[in-house]
Amino acid sequence: MNKSSRPVCIAILTCSSTIAVSQATTAPGSAESKAKSSKMTEKAGDADKAMAPAGLIDRLPPDGTWGRFEGESTLSGQCKNITITIASVGKATVQGQSCRWIELAFEESGHLLIWKLLIPEKYLQRDRKILDHALSIWHRKDEQEPVNITGMGAEYEFGPLVFIMTGPDQEIRPLAPQLIETKLGRFECAGWTGHQLTKSDKPQIDTTYQQWVHEKAPFGVLRAEMEYAIKFEDRVVQAQTSITLAELGTHASSQISTADLSIEQLSARPFAPAAGWQWFLSPQGCAWSILATRGIILSVAKEAGVFRLTLAHPRSHGEDARYRPVAFGPDHRRYELRTTGGASTGDISLANFVLDSEVLAVDQVKYLGIEKLTPQEYKEPPSLVGKALPELEDVKTEFTREQAKGKAILVCFWDMNQRPSRHTVTELVKKTQELREQGVVVVCVHASKVDPNTLDKWAKDNNVPFAVGMIQANKEKTRFAWGVKSLPWLILTDKNHVVTGEGFGLEELDDRIRERENAKR
């Protein structure tokens, strides 16, 4: 950031907050009095929340303004010096909304973390969910290339940014004015305090804020103190952060260049988790071989051109949580690893996964993340056996039920980027004539996002004679509704289109068809 414009302290102004007190006209202790008192308390709380700053932003200064905070952070008795710089580094208009680029730089122990956020201006003044409103978020670590992290879950991915940008959202109340000593002079400031509970799996972080504001501070906040109670299952760790405005100026310049990107590129969400899932471990570089974090252990092996991953995690109340690894290539395209088995014993589950080189070469795996089913989605897909085959309304295909009148239907959910899926489809192609003679109509449904032209070309190149479609709606919900637990996934019906089998292997197909024929007799 350009710091050629040095700060100048012109005057000391006193800011104080005025608290209105209302006197009840009804008898103290009466039901009506208590009801009025409760409503007054709620209104007072709402008023306090509306007045208290959100993180380090209490107001929005002219574009180009920057402010640098200095302070220290203490964890487990170890104290480190930190600096945080916040700046307005550009304007943009998106869908008629006036937006600002806000950039934050966090420096600690020789490391530099930078976040650049595009946020509508209307949310940049005391909004408690600033991060939720960000249209684009870019992140850079030290000298690494910037990464678009738009769509990641704030409580898992943004680290210090959560506490810098959001501020308290519970039990907010004003503090008595206080004289704050800074490198810029002494300022009498209004103060606010409150709590924020960061709800992730483990740990949970209960943060108590004290924020001091003054009109001479470029973004409103002059000093911020945060005390963290980091709650693990068996212990609570205390930490503190205290920062004070030390320098300010104008003509700020960005350390992350986004000038050449379109709005579509800026607002893309390459690392957003799949619907119904959340990031348990955010996508990150995978130059490691063993990683232990948040109660799980990951082991990666890259051998013979194959990317293998073993995941060990605790079982909760004897039940397995649903985790799955996701790899990303240089273009940020996601690739789900296929499972190759696993085991459970006692309180530990072990799962093995592989990413075939034909799907993505080992040296092209740039990021690796672990998704976990959200609590509301944590349930097994329903079985379709004995039920009528669902309509293909969420699948774009030329197939119609009339084409299969009086015939059985075989639906194959697959993914052309996975070798087992491609193998299943090509084997079905070889059995085309045999399946026709058995009165079976085949429909292939591509279960992940792919360019339609690429899918059509693959089908033509491999002489696929049956209908090939692709899920158009929410892919996770559609797969769940069809009972799909893995890919490829076969579903077979009788001639009345009632499901007789699901989830079986290709080698079992002939037996399944014979069973259907025998049952018909």
Rounded distance, CA 32 to CA 41, Å?
Answer: 14
How far is CA 69 from each of CA 60, 247, 248, 494, rounded to the nearest angstrom?
A: 17, 7, 9, 70
Dihedrals φ, ψ of 24, to 5°?
-75, 140
What's the rounded Cα separation, in Å, for the pair 38 and 44? 10
- Is residue 80 within 8 Å of 86, Cβ to Cβ? no
pLDDT in tens, 345-373: 667 888 889 988 878 888 888 888 888 87
Measure CA 36 to chain center: 42
Indicate the SS3 state at residue 60: coil
CA distance 381 to 327: 24
Fold of 51-249: YmcC-like fold (2.40.360)
Question: Does the domain spanning 283-377 belong to CATH 2.60.40?
Answer: yes
Per-residue pLDDT at 22 exceeds 50? no
Query: What pLDDT digit, counting tens, does each position of 220-267 carry?
Result: 999 999 998 888 777 888 999 999 999 999 999 999 988 888 777 777
Task: Cite the beta strand spans of 315-437 per DSSP E.
Answer: 323-328, 334-336, 338-345, 348-355, 367-373, 395-396, 408-414
- Of 281, 186, 182, 253, nearest to 224 by C-alpha is 182
- Which residue would you say has higher pLDDT here, 412 or 288? 412
Residues 96, 108: Cα–Cα separation, whole Å: 38
Specify the pLDDT at position 380: 67
Question: What is residue 319's three-state secondary structure?
Answer: strand
Rounded Cα gap, residues 337 and 256, in angstroms? 32
Tokens of 78: 């170890």
Helix (H) or strand (E) run with residue 260 in it? none
Asked whether the domain spanning 283-377 has the same topology as the one spanning 51-249, the reply is no
Question: For the chain, how many helices (H) and strands (E)?
Answer: 10, 26
| pLDDT tens by residue, 478-518 | 888 888 887 889 999 999 999 999 988 888 898 888 876 66
Mean pLDDT computed over 407-435: 90
In whole angstroms, what is the distance from residue 151 CA to residue 135 CA?
Answer: 9
- The rounded distance, in Å, linking the Cα atoms of 258 and 131 is 19
pTM: 0.58
Tell whether the model's pLDDT for residue 281 goes beyond 50.
Answer: yes
DSSP 375: G
- 325 vs 336: CA distance, rounded Å: 6
**For 130, phi and psi rounded to 5 degrees?**
-55, -45
Which sign, positive or negative, has the C-alpha torsion 15, 16, 17, 21?
Answer: negative
* pLDDT of amino acid 200: 54
Structure tokens belonging to residue 339: 């499972």
Q: Are 440 and 480 in contact (CB under 8 A)?
A: no
Q: Specify the DSSP class assigned to residue 465.
A: -
Reading the block at residue 128, the tokens are 């408690």
3-state SS string for 148-190: ECCCCCHHHHCCHHHHHHCCCCEEEEEEEEEEEEECCEEEEEE
The strand pairing partners of 459, in sequence order, are: none
Closest CA to 65 of 256, 257, 251: 251
| Side-chain-facing half-sphere of 264: CA atoms under 13 Å | 0
What's the CA gap between 401 and 245, in Å, rounded? 69
Gap between the Cα atoms of 293 and 311, Å rounded: 11
pLDDT at res. 518:
64
pLDDT tens digits, residue range 153-194? 544 456 677 777 888 888 899 999 999 999 999 999 999 999
Tokens (6 digits) for 494: 């009788």
Architecture of domain 395-520 in this structure: 3-Layer(aba) Sandwich (3.40)
Torsion-angle region of residue 510: left (phi > 0), alpha (psi -120 to 50) or beta? Answer: alpha
In the chain, where are the structural domains located? 51-249, 283-377, 395-520
Among the ranges given (86-95, 178-187, 203-212, 431-440), the one the predictor scored with the smallest mean pLDDT: 203-212
Beta bridge partners of residue 443, listed in sequence order: 411, 467
